[in-house]
Every structure is written in structure tokens, then in C-alpha cells.
């Protein structure tokens, strides 16, 4: 019997193979990425979600390396949690390593972790695996995919990519390497499916450069550009335009400032000192001499754009004649708050440009024609669509079918589903349950669905507590004290709360012979029914008999 | 002094002039539409939002008529609330009137309200106003806009429209009427701005018909099509295809069944009896003989598609080989839940088609080129962009500027901002505060932001109640009883709750000399601090000393 190569994408529902992927052969394991997911709108109060490491917990000693594709949160954000449990080296390019170091330092873990930097094109020997990182273009510099030669064959993992021939950093993806892999023969391709429902070819970063050049050429007042804090290449584009059009550049928002500082230090961002000014100084310059880069492109209320939109920024406010550019897409689920922020900025007199009305942002992921090109460049025996929701993986598989990859050679799987590969076969094993872990404040994994469901009920109709006092003889004395939150306006609800107290006392009387816990339940039930009859709503109800 | 014509869009933030518009001259008022808004994601627990009628409350006797453009919820949904306060006749086309009657009957108001039906092309004399409804194409049949001749001039209100030359009902918009208005001279155009950020021309319904024909021609299993319950023309398209391709049609989902029944009765929907079957019978037929139309295109968990996605439908379940079509766009804010529903349907083995991967839906609103055509057809002196968020109105205004309508003749305003028109002038008055009313269960307007903010806090971190018993002497006796909801998993929080009890008793001891209400506050404060230190979260905290 030959050994098999096992591939397991870890994480919850949502995007598959995005946050963490395990490559396992006998007693050696490579982990690709360790990122976070953002909670969906019904995961109330949850800060972030990390992959469930259960699968790896009893084999941490087998982990040879954590390979990181690039420095976005959904690929590195869970490292502080993961590295607290795992003693293995991290391998990343210099910029990605810089971003990881910032995270690990904040978590107090930096001194415990070995971080090795590599350059795309190098070869890493890691146990039974030979890893060849290759350069790809995406929306952050220094991104790689991995060619991994394993005992059963060559696996290619694209990471997040697009085929941009004219990227902002002038470094196109490594077609030659992909072609070389193809010549050697590729057993399996794990490929980004994010944009599998977008026809055509994702526009180049150069399109954005042109659109932003238009903005700089025509804007008469200040130019304020919001984007992702990690979008180093966009910062470079804006800095170049500021220089070209004689404006000073202020960068504001803590995370963007920190990233820019680190990227300048490492040489990924070239901004001459004379170009950069503080926001405090920017407000003193004539408006046509100012450009500002800011955080908050997702409408986050505490980031710069959110505060500007509500007039709550410490030293900056929107002026009539400002041109504001949202150089980012709303992440799915953020559309409403992003558009609300845009409306608020219009209300304050800004002219706001966003992707729907000018090409001031492009996706960092391949569209359909690029995905087809990837398949034809690599010519894998097996295709494993990753990085996308199930609907994207299905679309990706559909495309591959039309390119004559046989149905049985395409594995559309969900997180937690192990695949086993030999030199000539691919088998899908049963999915392991579970898969994600909620992080809420200081708690990691303690909050589960029951708590979140309670929060949902609280969010719907609030909560009503009633406290009853009993005499030593166990008889109820006095009036119940009723406290509500998120249910009614207490100032206008005297009548309702009086009725509620009566309903409670009536129930307490009728059911007075019951045992204490049954009595509580009966009273809660009566109170619930009364409140529903009066208001049409069902708050959480809790009665304490003291 | 000449009298002025006053135009006031009523409603809250969000879409402007969408739900209700007041046209007022001296002591005569026309109201156009009375619709609802859907709550934004931070309006927790709110069912719907209706316009604030305050502006009209002391002049209800002046209202000559409520003119209704079409039968969508955001144009008729507030009528049951409005007609409870107002004694004026409603004017609508037959289908719209049918939909209004259903609503008023449910509210027990039908016998109190005069509903007059008219046909597009008629003329209505209403006090000092002459109203000429004209046919427009939109995503529900029998839609109109209004030409309103007022003492100061002719006003044209487009309603929701698109210029569809090949609509599903074969009745294109009334270009001749618009041209005739133009010849007479139009003082002001109030025009739909919904798609002001979409370039080009909105595709015709015929594009959908073709895409659906492809589905019927190629699908081998059942075809299940989800759309809006009111999208009568889509039901007609599907019925025609079912007939053409030899399938029976089942319509499921209460609202869609009711609408279809009413539309058949009024002649807006032509489906032969032999074509229609019940869902119970559909499941007994061979799969290739079945088409099903269903509600739930917005991912609503209780509608048909939501239940099918979760495997919770009473008598229908997804089979391998089913083709499911989402023939609708996600309404902004619904993207996440719609795509989650689609992923769940894929997981159950369906092939799911949606707008991104096949043109199975088109917008019902004009895109930029149509909006320009409307302006050039009508050639108004003043342009008042309506039906859109502020960003859309700004875009609409921008287009008009390029068409040489002078800046000062374009009024971009928000709801609650009155405009005053004379034969040659337009003045914007200060905006009135307020504007919308929350409906939550049986409560209308009683729930405001403070309650919603409490719900937000509850949704974030839950609530912790503590009850302390005191002796007759006022001394605290025994252990505090602590109840939490939506905060921690009670089963795993013994330690934490024990610590909380200790923190409470310590505070009660330290602050024992305080007056009762101050003491409560001090204990709450201590409890809050303890919980934050332990969990990094801040639940609502309430202490009762009994």
C-alpha cells in the first residue's frame, strides 16, 4: 500500500480553503496560511472567527512549517492564536513577514516564533516537501503561490491572484514558473475561485492609476482617498500622483500609517520625505495642495472615513469642494454601511467617487478568463477549487468541465473535508463537523451558537426581568419589580408595565401551589403571553422569586 | 403676491421621495404614494418603517386625493397606517387597486376607504389640479407616472420606470404623452434616480424571457424559480414557458399565490387552469414535467426558498438535478443572506442560477441613458431627482448638468425638505427634522432610537442581572442571584459568575453607607468593571436590591 497525500482545508462555512489549508504526508505536515474570517451579520457581537485547530491539535509536532501566501488578515490574522499552540517556523516573503511580526509583537509572541523570509523563485526543502514559492499579482505586494513537490506528485496552490500584466509594483506574475510546473506535470491545482462568477478578465491596476490621475488632474479642492490599510500599492499610486500634481500627502488612520511605515522601511513603498506631512499640517495648506489617504473604506464607524462622515474627526472635517474617493469595494455584507457613509459625505458637501461611477478600484482576484488561463497554464490532473463560497467553487468546476477536465477529477469540497491523493487517484473523505471558533473580547471559543441565538432574541425585542419578593412563609409580598431593556420606551410604558405586574400576580396566585421552579416557569409564561398580546412582540422574559 | 406650489417628499433618510410626496397649492393637497421603508441593519428588531405624517396631520382635510403610481410595498405599504388617519379617496390603476384592497381588508379599513380606479391616459380633475396618469414600464404591471397641471405649471412625476420597448406585458411606456407634456411646457420633472450610477440602458424584460427559455430548454430535472411575490410579469413569463415546454406549474408561498389569484381575476395574468397544479401534486409528477414558482428570492428564512435551503419545507425538498433560479436581485443589505441561501441550495445538490451568472433578472429602473432620454423627452425647466439615495440624486443632477440644465434649476433635496415653485422660480426651504416612524409588532412610533440602541448593546454582549436580598434591617443577606443572557455560556461560567458575586458583595460592603439608588449604581459599576476585566466585554448590567 502506498501512502497518500492528505489535503484538508480548515475553517467554517463561508469561503473554503481561504484561511488555512493542511498538506499532510505520513508524519509531516505543511500548513498554508492562518487567517481569520469576519463574522456574518447574524453572528451578533462576535469580533472575529478563527479556524478550529482541532484537526492539528494532536499532531502539532508533525508541522514542518507554516507557509504564508500574503499579508492580508484572512491569511495571517489567526497566527497569534495558532502560534500560541504550535512550535513550528513561519515562512513568508519580507513584506508579509513584516506584517506578521507586527501581529505577533502585539500578542507578545514574537520572541517565541521563528520567521524565515524567502523570495519568490527560491526553493525551500521542508522534510519530504520541496516548496517553490512563485510570484503572483494581487492587491498587496509580495504575494506568492506555492509549487509543492510531494512524494505523490507536484501540487500547485495559487494563493490569491490575478493575472495583471501591468501591476502597480511593476512585477507581473511568474508565468514561466507556472509553465515549468506544467512541463514537470502537476498532480493537483488548488486555485483561487473568488471571482468565479465574473466573466472576462479583471482590469489591471493600471486602470485605477488612470482613474486616479483623472481625479488629480481635475480636482480643485482637497483629495481624500480611502482604501484598505494594507493596500500598499494604492498608497504608492497616490503618492506618485501627489508628487506629479504638486500636492503634499498625509496618511491617516493608525493601521495605514503603521503599514506605510513598515513598507517604506522594507523598500516596498517609495515616498520621498518631503512629500509626506501630518494631517495637522495638511489642514493649514491651500486645499489644492493637499492629498490625504485614509482608512475606513468599509464604512467602519471608528475609522477615518466613518468619523469624517459623521463630523467626528479630531482634526479634519469635510469641506465643500473636497473630492473623496472610495478606492475599494465594499466587502459583502458591508454594502449598506459603505453607501450610508458615502451619502453622509455627499451631505457634507464632498463630491464622492466610488467604484460604480469611476474605475477607482479593481478586484485583486482573477476573473473567469484568468481562471481558465491558470488551468491551461498548469494543466493539472486534478482541480481543487478553493478561495470562494460554495457557489464560486461550483462555477469554477463548471468552467473546468468545459475545458475537458473530467468531473471525477474535480473536487468541490467544503472546509473540514479531507482529500486523499495518490499519483493517480483523488478520494474525498467524509467532512469533519465543526470548523470555526468565535473570538469575542478575551474569549476564544467559549461563545457558541446558543449565546449568539440569545443575542438575536435580545436584538429582536429586548428583555424583561421581573423580581418578586416572598415573605418568610413563602408568600409573595408587595409589587413585582419589572425592568426592561430594548423592549419598550420605559417612560411611555407605565400602563403596560402595570398590566404586566398584574399578570404576574394573577399567575402567582393561580399557580401558588406549584413548586418554586415550576411556578417561575408558569409566571414567565403568563408574562410572555400578556406582553405578546399587548405589543405583538416576544422579549426574553425572566422571573426571579427572591 | 402669487401663491406658490409646494412639493414635500416625506420619509426618513435612505431613499428620497420614494415613499410619499406631497403636492400642495393653497388649501389643496395631493399625496403621491404611501409606502414603507425596510429597516437598515442597525435598526434592530424593527419590522418596517413608515413615513412620519406629522407634516400632514393638521391639514388632512385639505387632501384631495392619494395618487398611487404602482403596487409595490415601498409605494403602498403605509396605506393602512395613513388611511387610519386620513379621509380622502385613493386613485390607482386596477391592479394597484387590487393590491391596495388586499392590504386595507387585512387592516379592517376597506369599507372606510374610497378607491377609484383609472386607466393610464385618462384625465382626473381633482380640485385645482388636473392629473394625467401615463403608462410606464417597471417590474410590476399597470404602473403609471403622473402629469399634474397645477396653477403654477405642469409637473411630471415619473414614478418608478424604465424605458422597456419590449416589456413582458407588451405595453411599452407612453412616449407620446411625455412628448406632448414637453410641447405644453413642463415646469418641473420629478424623476426616478434609483439606477443613476448604472451606465447605459437597463436590459428589457425580453432578455429575461430568453434566459429563462434557455433554462426550460436545457433543464432535465425540476425547475424552481424564485422571485418577488408581486412580480406578476415574471410569473406570466414562467407560465408561458411551462406551457411551451410541457411542464405543469405550481405557485407556492402565500403572498405569491394571493397576488397571482388576484392578477388572474383582473386579467393581468393569463394562465390556463390545466397548467396550474398544487405543490402536493407537483412532487408526484416526473421531474421534467414540473416547474415551481416560489417566494424567498431575498433569502427570507420563512419564505419558500429559505425553507428549502434549510430542508425545512413541509412538502417539498431539493432533489439532485433540480435547477433553481433566483430571478431577482438581492435588495441592498440582503446580499449576505441571499448568497448564503444559494450556497445551501448548491449543498443540497441543486444547480443554482442567479443574476451574476445568467441574465435571469433585470432591474425595473431606468439606467443613465434612459434618465437622459426622460430629461430630453420632457425638457423641464426644473429637475427634482427623486427615488434614490443622496448619492443617486447627485449622480442624476450631474447628468442633467451635462445636458445644460443650469445648476440652480436642479434641486437635490432630502426627505422633509419643502420646495416652493412659482412659474419661474424654485426655492428650497429648510429641512424639517424627523421623518420616519418605526413599526415594531403592534407598536407604531413608540419605539425610538434609545430602545434600538439598547438592543444594539444587548446584541453585542448580552445582559447580566443581579438580584440581592436585604434583611428587614436593610442589610444584604445571602448570595446575589446572577442571571445572564447572550453574555456567556452559563454552563461553562461557574468561575466567572462566582467572581461576579464576590465583586458585588465587596462593592455592597464598601459602599454600604450609600443611599439605595447610589448604592445600586456603585454595585453595577463594580460588576461591569469586573466583567470587562475578565472577558473584555461590556454586557448591559442591572442590579436589583430587593
Best B195, B435, B463, B517 member to test A by mutation, with max A CBs in 10 Å, is B463
Query: Which triple of cell numbers denotes residue A495?
Result: 400602563
Window B:219-238, CB contacts with A under 8 Å = none
Chain A residues within an 8 Å CB radius of B470: none
What is the Rg, in whole angstroms, of the alpha carbon atoms belonging to chain B?
28
Alpha carbon separation from A369 to A189, A383, A403 (Å, rounded): 16, 16, 12
Q: Which has the closest alpha carbon to A352: A202, A221, A243?
A: A221
Query: Do A43 and A177 have their domain in common?
Result: yes
Torsion sign, CA atoms B379, B380, B381, B387: negative
Query: Residue B19, SS3?
Result: coil
Looking at the structure, do residues B227 and B301 belong to the same domain, yes or no? yes
Residues B437, B485: one domain?
Answer: no
Yes or no, beta carbons of B454 and A462 under 8 Å apart: yes
Last residue of a domain, one of B354, B378, B396: B354
State how far the Cα of A173 lies from the Cα of A374, in Å rounded to an integer: 11
Q: Write the CATH number for A503.
A: 3.10.20.580
Q: Which of B391, B413, B478, B532 to mutate to test the interface with A (most CBs of A within 10 A)?
A: B391
How large is the ipTM? 0.88
Chain center to CA of A462: 29
If asked whether residues B402 and B284 sit together in one domain, one would say: no
Q: What region does B244 belong to: left with phi over 0, alpha with psi -120 to 50, or beta?
A: alpha
**How far, in Å, are A457, B251, B297 from residue B354 at the CA level?**
31, 19, 10
Same domain, B374 and B298: no
- A452 within domain boundaries: no
Choose the final residue of a domain: B322, B354, B386.
Answer: B354
Instruction: Give me the half-sphere count of Cα atoms (radius 13 Å) on the Cβ side of residue B350.
Output: 28
- Measured between beta carbons, the chain A residues lying within 8 angstroms of B45 are 459-462, 486, 537
Do residues B382 and B525 both lie within one domain?
no
Touching check for A542 and chain B: CB below 8 Å? yes
Nearest by CB to residue A352, choosing from B391, B454, B456, is B391
HSE at residue A357, side-chain half, CA atoms within 13 A, is 21
Rounded distance, CA B544 to CA A403, Å?
69
Beta bridge partners of A481: A467
Return the exposure string of A199-223: e unless at least 16 CB atoms fall within 10 Å of the residue's CB, then b. Answer: eebbbbbebbbebbeebbeebebbb
Residue tagged active-site, from B365, B387, B392, B396: B365
Q: Does the distance separating the beta carbons of B486 and A451 come in below 8 Å?
A: yes
> To which H or E segment does residue A99 belong?
helix A94-106
**Nearest residue to B540 (alpha-carbon basis) of B518, B517, B519, B524:** B524
Q: Which three cell numbers stand for residue A195?
A: 471571482
Contact B489 A450 (CB under 8 A): yes
Cβ-contact A71, A43 below 8 angstroms? no
Distances (CA, A) of B66 to A85, A421, B78: 67, 69, 12
Chain-centre distance for alpha carbon B392: 17
Q: Does B474 touch chain A (CB under 8 A)?
A: no
A474 within domain boundaries: yes
Residues B44 and B120 in one domain: yes
Q: How would you classify residue B116: left for phi > 0, otherwise alpha for psi between -120 and 50, otherwise beta?
A: beta
Give the count of alpha carbons within 13 A of A366, CB side only: 28
Contact (CB<8Å) A463/B447: no
Q: What is the pLDDT of residue A217?
A: 97
CB contact (8 A) between residue B390 and residue A343: yes
On chain B, the residues whose CB falls within 8 A of the CB of A343 are: 13, 389-391
CB A32 within 8 A of CB A146: yes
Asked if the structure places residue B431 within a domain, the reply is: yes
* pLDDT tens for the 546 residues of chain B, in order: 468 999 999 987 778 989 999 999 999 999 999 999 988 888 888 999 999 999 999 999 999 999 999 999 999 999 999 999 999 999 999 999 999 998 999 899 999 999 999 999 999 999 999 999 999 999 999 999 999 999 999 999 999 999 999 998 889 999 999 999 999 999 999 999 999 999 999 999 999 999 999 999 999 999 999 999 989 999 999 999 999 999 999 999 999 999 999 999 999 999 999 999 999 999 999 999 999 999 999 999 899 999 999 999 988 999 999 999 999 988 878 888 999 999 999 999 999 999 888 899 999 999 999 999 999 999 999 999 999 999 999 999 999 999 999 999 999 999 999 999 999 999 999 999 878 899 988 888 888 888 999 999 999 999 999 998 877 666 778 889 999 999 988 777 888 999 999 999 998 888 878 887 788 889 999 999 999 999 989 999 999 887
**In this predicted structure, what is the pLDDT of residue A42?**
83
How many Å apart are CA B402 and CA B423, to the nearest integer? Answer: 24
In a domain, A453, yes or no: no
In a domain, B453, yes or no: no
Q: Kindly state the cell numbers that stand for A469.
A: 419578593
| A391 at B interface, C-beta within 8 A | yes
Which chain B residues in 492-511 lie under 8 Å from chain A, judged by CB atoms?
492-493
The per-residue DSSP string of A354-368 comes to ETTTS-----SS--H
B365 is catalytic: yes
- CA A79/CA A200 separation, integer angstroms: 35
Asked if B529 reaches chain A (Cβ–Cβ under 8 Å), the answer is no
| Contact residues, chain B, for A452 at CB < 8 Å | 486
The span from the CA of A345 to the CA of A222, in Å, is 14
Rounded distance between C-alpha atoms, residue B415 and residue B319, angstroms = 48
Residue-level pLDDT at B479: 87
**Shortest Cα distance, chain B CAs vs residue A40, angstroms:** 8
Spatial CB neighbours of B65, under 8 Å, sequence gap ≥ 6: B30, B31, B88, B89, B90, B91, B124, B126, B131
Tell me, yes or no, if A443 comes closer than 8 A to chain B by beta carbon: yes
Predicted pLDDT at A2: 63
Angle subtended by helix axes B368-378 and B175-184, to nearest 10: 40
Residue A450 lies in a domain: no
Nearest to B458 among A351, A458, A536 (CB): A458
> What is the pLDDT at residue B477?
81
Q: Which residues fall within 8 angstroms of residue A481, CB to CB, at 6 or more apart?
A: A466, A467, B544, B546
| Residue pLDDT tens, chain A, 546 long | 468 999 999 987 778 989 999 999 999 999 999 999 988 888 888 999 999 999 999 999 999 999 999 999 999 999 999 999 999 999 999 999 999 998 999 899 999 999 999 999 999 999 999 999 999 999 999 999 999 999 999 999 999 999 999 998 889 999 999 999 999 999 999 999 999 999 999 999 999 999 999 999 999 999 999 999 989 999 999 999 999 999 999 999 999 999 999 999 999 999 999 999 999 999 999 999 999 999 999 999 899 999 999 999 988 999 999 999 999 988 878 888 999 999 999 999 999 999 888 899 999 999 999 999 999 999 999 999 999 999 999 999 999 999 999 999 999 999 999 999 999 999 999 999 878 899 988 888 888 888 999 999 999 999 999 998 877 666 778 889 999 999 988 777 888 999 999 999 998 888 878 887 788 889 999 999 999 999 989 999 999 887
Contact A391 B343 (CB under 8 A): yes
**d(C-alpha A38, C-alpha A43), whole Å:** 10
Contact A45 B198 (CB under 8 A): no
Beta pairing partners, B437: B50
As a whole number of angstroms, the distance between CA B317 and CA B247 comes to 18
Q: Given the C-alpha cell 500622483, which residue does it identify?
A: A241
Q: Domain holding B282: CATH number?
A: 3.40.50.10710
CA of A118 to nearest chain B CA: how many angstroms apart?
A: 37
Q: How far apart are CA A415 and CA B95, in angstroms?
A: 49
Contact partners, residue A521, CB within 8 Å, separation at least 6: none
* Cα–Cα distance measured from residue A493 to residue A489, given in angstroms and rounded to the nearest whole number: 6
B449: in domain: no
Alpha helices in A195-285 (DSSP H): 205-218, 232-244, 254-265, 279-282
Label the pairing between strands B143-150 and B28-32: unpaired
Pairing of strands B323-326, B276-277: unpaired
C-beta neighbour count of B20 within 10 angstroms? 25
User: Is residue A332 less than 8 Å (CB to CB) from chain B?
Assistant: yes
Sheet holding B129-136, edge to edge: B124-126, B129-136, B143-150, B153-157, B186-192, B380-386
Element spanning A344, H or E: helix A335-347
Q: Within A266-303, where are the H helices?
A: 279-282
Same domain, B288 and B391: no
Count structural domains, chain A: 3
| Residues A380, A335 share a domain | no
User: Can you give the pLDDT at residue A446?
Assistant: 85
Give dist(CA B195, CA B395) in Å, integer.
Answer: 9
Examine residue B457 and state whether it is found in any structural domain, yes or no. Answer: no
Cβ atoms of residues B49 and B436 within 8 Å: yes
What is the domain extent for residue B282?
205-354
Specify whether A365 is catalytic: yes
A470 and A504 within one domain: yes
Is residue A180 located within the same domain as residue A210? no
Q: Are residues A196 and A218 in the same domain?
A: no
Domain boundary pick from B292, B324, B354: B354
Contact status, residue B333 vs residue B40, Cβ threshold 8 Å: yes
CA distance A15 to A389: 4
Q: Residue B76: is it exposed, middle or buried by C-beta count within 10 angstroms (0-12/13-18/19+)?
A: buried
Q: Following DSSP, what letter does each residue of A182-215 receive, concatenated?
A: HHH-EEEEEEE-TTTT--S-PPPHHHHHHHHHHH
Amino acid at each position: 500500500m502506498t501512502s497518500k497525500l492528505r489535503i484538508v482545508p480548515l475553517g467554517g462555512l463561508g469561503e473554503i480553503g481561504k484561511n488555512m489549508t493542511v498538506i499532510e504526508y505520513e508524519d509531516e505536515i505543511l500548513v498554508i496560511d492562518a487567517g481569520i474570517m469576519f463574522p456574518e451579520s447574524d453572528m451578533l457581537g462576535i469580533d472575529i472567527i478563527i479556524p478550529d485547530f482541532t484537526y492539528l491539535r494532536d499532531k502539532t509536532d508533525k508541522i514542518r512549517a507554516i507557509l504564508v501566501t500574503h499579508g492580508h488578515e484572512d491569511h495571517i490574522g489567526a497566527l497569534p492564536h495558532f502560534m500560541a499552540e504550535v512550535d513550528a517556523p513561519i515562512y513568508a516573503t519580507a513584506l508579509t513577514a513584516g506584517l506578521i511580526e507586527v501581529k505577533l509583537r502585539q500578542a507578545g509572541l514574537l520572541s517565541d516564533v521563528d520567521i524565515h523570509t524567502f523570495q519568490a523563485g527560491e526553493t525551500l526543502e521542508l522534510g519530504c516537501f520541496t516548496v517553490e514559492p512563485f510570484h503572483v499579482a494581487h492587491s498587496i505586494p509580495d504575494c506568492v503561490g506555492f509549487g509543492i513537490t510531494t512524494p505523490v506528485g507536484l501540487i500547485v496552490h495559487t494563493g490569491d491572484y490575478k493575472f495583471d500584466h501591468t501591476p502597480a509594483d511593476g512585477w507581473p506574475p511568474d508565468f514561466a514558473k507556472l509553465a515549468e510546473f506544467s512541463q514537470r506535470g502537476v498532480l493537483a491545482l488548488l486555485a483561487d475561485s473568488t471571482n468565479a462568477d465574473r466573466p472576462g478578465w479583471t482590469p489591471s491596476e493600471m486602470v485605477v492609476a488612470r482613474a486616479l490621475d483623472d481625479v488629480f488632474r481635475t480636482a480643485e479642492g482637497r483629495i481624500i482617498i480611502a482604501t484598505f490599510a494594507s493596500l500598499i500599492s494604492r498608497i504608492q499610486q497616490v503618492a506618485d500622483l501627489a508628487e506629479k500634481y504638486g500636492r503634499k500627502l498625509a496618511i491617516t488612520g493608525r493601521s495605514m500609517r503603521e503599514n506605510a511605515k513598515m513598507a517604506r522601511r522594507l523598500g516596498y513603498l517609495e515616498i520621498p520625505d518631503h512629500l509626506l506631512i501630518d494631517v495637522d499640517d495638511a489642514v493649514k495648506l491651500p486645499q489644492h495642495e493637499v492629498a490625504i489617504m485614509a482608512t475606513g473604506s468599509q464604512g467602519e464607524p471608528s475609522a477615518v472615513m466613518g468619523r469624517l462622515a459623521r463630523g467626528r474627526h479630531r482634526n479634519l472635517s469635510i469641506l465643500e469642494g473636497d473630492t473623496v474617493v472610495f478606492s475599494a469595494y465594499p466587502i459583502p455584507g458591508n454594502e449598506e454601511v459603505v453607501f450610508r457613509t458615502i451619502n453622509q459625505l455627499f451631505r457634507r458637501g464632498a463630491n464622492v467617487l466610488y467604484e460604480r461611477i469611476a474605475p477607482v478600484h479593481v478586484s485583486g482576484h482573477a476573473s473567469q478568463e484568468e481562471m481558465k488561463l491558470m488551468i491551461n497554464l498548469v494543466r493539472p490532473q486534478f482541480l481543487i477549487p478553493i478561495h470562494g463560497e460554495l457557489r464560486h467553487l461550483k462555477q469554477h468546476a463548471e468552467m473546468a468541465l468545459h475545458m475537458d477536465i473530467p468531473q471525477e477529477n474535480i473536487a468541490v469540497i467544503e472546509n473540514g473535508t479531507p482529500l486523499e491523493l495518490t499519483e493517480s487517484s483523488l478520494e474525498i473523505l467524509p467532512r469533519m463537523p465543526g470548523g470555526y471558533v468565535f473570538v469575542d473580547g478575551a474569549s476564544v471559543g467559549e461563545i457558541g451558537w446558543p449565546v449568539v441565538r440569545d443575542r438575536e432574541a435580545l436584538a429582536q425585542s429586548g428583555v424583561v426581568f421581573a423580581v418578586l419578593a416572598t415573605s418568610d412563609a413563602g408568600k409573595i409580598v408587595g409589587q413585582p419589580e419589572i425592568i426592561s431593556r430594548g423592549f419598550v420606551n420605559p417612560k411611555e410604558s407605565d400602563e403596560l408595565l402595570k398590566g404586566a405586574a398584574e399578570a404576574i400576580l394573577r399567575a402567582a396566585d393561580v399557580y401558588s401551589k406549584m413548586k418554586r421552579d415550576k411556578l417561575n416557569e408558569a409566571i414567565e409564561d403568563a408574562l410572555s403571553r400578556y406582553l405578546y398580546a399587548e405589543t405583538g412582540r416576544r422579549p426574553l422574559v425572566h422571573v426571579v422569586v427572591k
